[in-house]
Amino acid sequence: MMTWLRQNARETIAALALVILFAGYIAIHPRGFSTYVVTIWSNQGTLLGLAAIAQFFVVLVKGIDLSVGSIIALTNVMGSFLLNGSPTSIALGMVVVLTVGVACGLVNGIAVVYGGVQPIVTTLATGGIFGGIALLLRPTPGGSIDETMSDALTYAVAGIPVSAVILVIVLVVLLMLLRRTAVGLGLYAIGSSEQSAYMTGLRVNRLKLVAYGSSGFVAALAGTYVSMVTLTGDPNIAPSYTLNSIAAVVLGGVALSGGVGSPLGAVIGALILKTISSLMFFSGLPPLAQPFFEGLILATAIALGALGVFRVRSRLELYR
Amino acid sequence: MTDATERTVTSRWLNRDRVSVLLIALGCVALLLGGSLLYPGFLKPGYILQQLQIAAFLGIIATGAMLVILLGEIDLSVPWTITGTAIVVISASGSSNPLIANLAIPLGLCLGIAVGLLNAIGVAVFRVPAMVWTLAVNAMLLGAAVFYTGNSRPNGEVPWLATLAATGRTFGIPNAFLVWLVVAAITIWVLKRTVYGNYLYALGNSRRAVFLAGARVRLVIVATFVLAGVFSSFGAILLLGYTNQAYQGMGDPYLMPVISAVVIGGTSIQGGRGNYIGTFAGAIFITLLSSILSVMQMPPAAREMIFGAIILVMLLVHGLTNKKEGI
């Protein structure tokens, strides 16, 4: 147990911070610890958590995805057209939405892998395209989602929020796949050193496509869950998800240089961010001052996470 | 002269940077010709001069972005540096205290310096990835702006100098474009002829080598981010003179065009490679493209899509030629 904690120091510190923040949030919340409060928190956290996992997959292979919010917006808007009616049509709609997500991820992946374009500029451009399609489909927020399904997925059963269960299942499955399969370990290998991975005989290009496709898939899950929580399709949610997903992976100890971190860390980072903004809401600060403090806390948290640079013995280690 | 030597000479003349500039220049011509089919006024000098005037705002802001990208970093705090500067300048200029009113433009530039320093502290001292740190700085600036203005449109006065520089004309040529030409000339000189310029390219290629060579790496990083902040503020002041008002989110539509202008101009997003002529042409290309899309009365959504698609295609052309050259 202690070894595990030491090996995963970044996640452990992040998790401790989360526990403290959550305790503060519950203490400050007028309704205290109740199923209602926890369910709302968990639903919001699951949305950002899934977005962070989507970001994680791309960051793992040394990329960055500035289109993740747009994919979420696009799948959310598509969900608002497709996720109602008979059970069969809902199921079909679900398949379509998830396929669109994977397709978006693959477009990014193909441009990066075969087109030789850097991930950051690729996804900047495709983000415009995906966001544009979402805005064309639905210029203003609207549409409808099957309410029975929404209720089943966003309420709590026996005091446990369904969203938390979903998030845990997604996490367990992904952790198993990443740690126990050749594909998962291959992704870590590429992130650590693409050259060595190639020399070992890994199919680097294909594995990268897997990473981008998985990212699109999880982003589509996030988009679908946005539909479930908000019951509308909203094309304007993209920027905040992109921004927060990047902040979340960094807070959760995922290295932007690739190969380091886990989806668990990404989710913890997302929950920290969500808890901070909820704390702000109930903190009694004037509402107009809240965005500033949110930014300030984000910057402080990131800077604290980077304090390790002052323990470096030779400054040469800092330059790569 | 044999065929072989001739071929090397041509290929050396047509190096990667020149191909990028040529490609972009062709793109601009294609846009103008294509535009003139839809709308005959496109080839008139009046229209072209107006586009150059608008391109100047983008181009000046992109100058700062390019320096940071050459370094191998990125500055995502551009949008709210622009908005923040506009708010500071317009409210200082409207102040009843004549001293503050006269210092409005220097105050705006000081904001740019301050933002640049803040960015540099995170990147050079704490070693936070620039992408994350500048994003957080952007969020803080947004918060400060919202708090300061009470989330409403800031009142005040636009300094006459900003209006003159942004909208005035000298011998029929927009002042903004002339200002941009001066900025361009200085930037090219700095990049090609000064120690700072050499360090910038060298740092973009290998930090380690430059550090071992004894250069003051941190100083160069700090200087670059400060310059980027100043260019963002400078562009914002001109923009303020042009729009004659400051409003929340006026900088938001600039982030993507600014980075696109730099990158399609042939500057490598990984740093260490690129020339200013490319950025210059890139800014004109982006301006023409968005002007044509708005003349065609595309809905904003379709505009965003086509914009993204064309930029992706330009990037793919670059990427594939680089792959062929084995870069």
User: How confident is the model over A172-216, as pLDDT tens digits?
Assistant: 999 999 989 989 999 999 988 888 888 888 899 999 999 999 999
Distances (CA, A) of A296 to A34, A119, B135, B143: 30, 28, 11, 9
pLDDT of residue B305: 85
The region of weakest confidence among A147-156, B59-68, B100-109 is A147-156
**CA–CA gap between residue B213 and residue A26 (Å, rounded):** 54
Question: Which ranges of B94-216 would DSSP assign to H, the alpha helix?
Answer: 98-102, 104-120, 130-149, 160-167, 175-193, 195-205, 207-212
- Distance (Å) from the alpha carbon of A178 to chain B's nearest alpha carbon: 25
pLDDT of residue B73: 87
**CA–CA gap between residue B77 and residue B140 (Å, rounded):** 9
Domain carrying residue A238: 38-277
- Distance (Å) from the alpha carbon of B74 to chain A's nearest alpha carbon: 10
Q: B207 touching A, CB under 8 A?
A: yes
pLDDT of residue B9: 47
Record the tokens describing residue B134, joined without a space.
């500048």
Mean per-residue pLDDT, A55-67: 92
Choose among B137, B256, B259: nearest Cβ to A299. B137
Q: B256 touching A, CB under 8 A?
A: yes
pLDDT in tens, A256-297: 888 888 999 999 999 998 888 888 777 777 777 777 887 787
pLDDT of residue A294: 76
The region of weakest confidence among A142-146, A160-164, B70-74, B242-246 is A142-146
Which one of A37-46, A95-104, B281-290, B298-307 scores highest in mean pLDDT?
A95-104
In the stretch 87-146 of chain B, residues with CB closer than 8 A to chain A read: 122, 125-129, 131-133, 135-144, 146
pLDDT of residue B168: 79
**CA–CA gap between residue A102 and residue B200 (Å, rounded):** 39
Residues of B in contact with A254 (CB under 8 A): none
Q: Are B58 and B282 in contact (CB under 8 A)?
A: no
- Distance (Å) from the alpha carbon of B3 to chain A's nearest alpha carbon: 32
A contact test, residue of B127, B270, B289 with most A CBs within 10 A: B127
Instruction: Return the DSSP state at A233.
Output: B
A112-124 as b/e: b if 16+ CB within 10 A? bbebbbbbbbbbb
B contact test, residue of A243, A257, A317, A319 with most B CBs within 10 A: A319
Judged by CB atoms closer than 8 Å, whether chains meet at A111 and B312 is answered as yes
Judged by CB atoms closer than 8 Å, whether chains meet at B146 and A133 is answered as no
Q: Is residue B7 scored above 50 in pLDDT?
A: no
The larger pLDDT score, comparing residue B39 to residue A168, is at A168
pLDDT above 90 covers a percentage of chain A that reads 33
- Distance (Å) from the alpha carbon of A92 to chain B's nearest alpha carbon: 27
Mean per-residue pLDDT, B248-271: 84
Judged by CB atoms closer than 8 Å, whether chains meet at A295 and B299 is answered as no
Record the tokens describing residue B319, joined without a space.
């990427």
Q: Is residue B233 scored above 80 in pLDDT?
A: yes
Written in H, E and C, the secondary structure of B191-215 is: HHHCHHHHHHHHHHHCHHHHHHCCC
pLDDT of residue B224: 93
Judged by CB atoms closer than 8 Å, whether chains meet at A116 and B319 is answered as yes
pLDDT of residue B327: 47
The larger pLDDT score, comparing residue A295 to residue A314, is at A295
pLDDT of residue B229: 94
Per the document, the length of chain B is: 327
Residues of A in contact with B150 (CB under 8 A): 288
Residue type (1 letter), B299 = P
Instruction: Return the DSSP state at B123.
Output: I
Rg (CA), chain B: 20
Q: What is the residue-averaged pLDDT of chain A?
A: 85
Record the tokens describing residue B158, joined without a space.
């636009």
Q: B326 touching A, CB under 8 A?
A: no
Residue A310 belongs to some domain of the structure: no
The region of weakest confidence among A203-217, B267-281, B311-325 is B311-325
Residue type (1 letter), B259 = I
Residue A6 belongs to some domain of the structure: no
Q: Is residue A4 scored above 80 in pLDDT?
A: no
Sign, CA dihedral A21-A24-A26-A31, equals: negative
Q: What is the residue-averaged pLDDT of chain B?
A: 84
Q: B298 touching A, CB under 8 A?
A: no
- Distance (Å) from the alpha carbon of A29 to chain B's nearest alpha carbon: 23
- Distance (Å) from the alpha carbon of A39 to chain B's nearest alpha carbon: 28
pLDDT above 70 covers a percentage of chain B that reads 93
Residue A13 belongs to some domain of the structure: no
In the stretch 151-190 of chain B, residues with CB closer than 8 A to chain A read: 151
A contact test, residue of B76, B152, B219, B315 with most A CBs within 10 A: B315
**CA–CA gap between residue A236 and residue A138 (Å, rounded):** 10
**CA B8, chain centre distance (Å):** 34
**CA–CA gap between residue B259 and residue B132 (Å, rounded):** 16
Judged by CB atoms closer than 8 Å, whether chains meet at B301 and A115 is answered as no
The larger pLDDT score, comparing residue A298 to residue B65, is at B65
Q: Is residue A83 scored above 60 in pLDDT?
A: yes
Phi-psi region of A116 (alpha: psi -120 to 50; beta: other; left: phi over 0): left
pLDDT band at B31 (very low <50, low <70, confident <90, very high): confident
Q: Are A289 and B147 in contact (CB under 8 A)?
A: yes
Mean per-residue pLDDT, B71-93: 89
Mean per-residue pLDDT, A40-65: 92
Residue A194 belongs to some domain of the structure: yes
Judged by CB atoms closer than 8 Å, whether chains meet at B129 and A290 is answered as no
**CA–CA gap between residue B277 and residue B218 (Å, rounded):** 27
Mean per-residue pLDDT, B215-232: 91
Phi-psi region of A275 (alpha: psi -120 to 50; beta: other; left: phi over 0): alpha
B203-235 as b/e: b if 16+ CB within 10 A? bbbbbeebbeeebebeebbbbbbbbbbbbbbbb
Judged by CB atoms closer than 8 Å, whether chains meet at B299 and A294 is answered as no
pLDDT in tens, A228-255: 888 888 888 888 888 889 888 888 888 8
ipTM over 0.85: no
Residues of A in contact with B207 (CB under 8 A): 319-320
Residues of A in contact with B316 (CB under 8 A): 111, 115-117
Residues of B in contact with A296 (CB under 8 A): 140, 143
End-to-end Cα, chain B, rounded Å = 29
Count other Cβ atoms within 10 Å, centred on residue A308: 10
pLDDT of residue B284: 92
Judged by CB atoms closer than 8 Å, whether chains meet at A316 and B208 is answered as yes
Which one of A114-118, A257-261, A265-269, B266-270 scores highest in mean pLDDT?
A265-269
Judged by CB atoms closer than 8 Å, whether chains meet at B139 and A298 is answered as yes
- Distance (Å) from the alpha carbon of B129 to chain A's nearest alpha carbon: 7
Judged by CB atoms closer than 8 Å, whether chains meet at A302 and B137 is answered as no
Judged by CB atoms closer than 8 Å, whether chains meet at A132 and B301 is answered as yes
Between chain A and chain B, how many beta carbons pairs sit less than 8 Å apart? 160
Judged by CB atoms closer than 8 Å, whether chains meet at A117 and B300 is answered as no
- Distance (Å) from the alpha carbon of B271 to chain A's nearest alpha carbon: 11
- Distance (Å) from the alpha carbon of B128 to chain A's nearest alpha carbon: 6
Domain count, chain A: 1
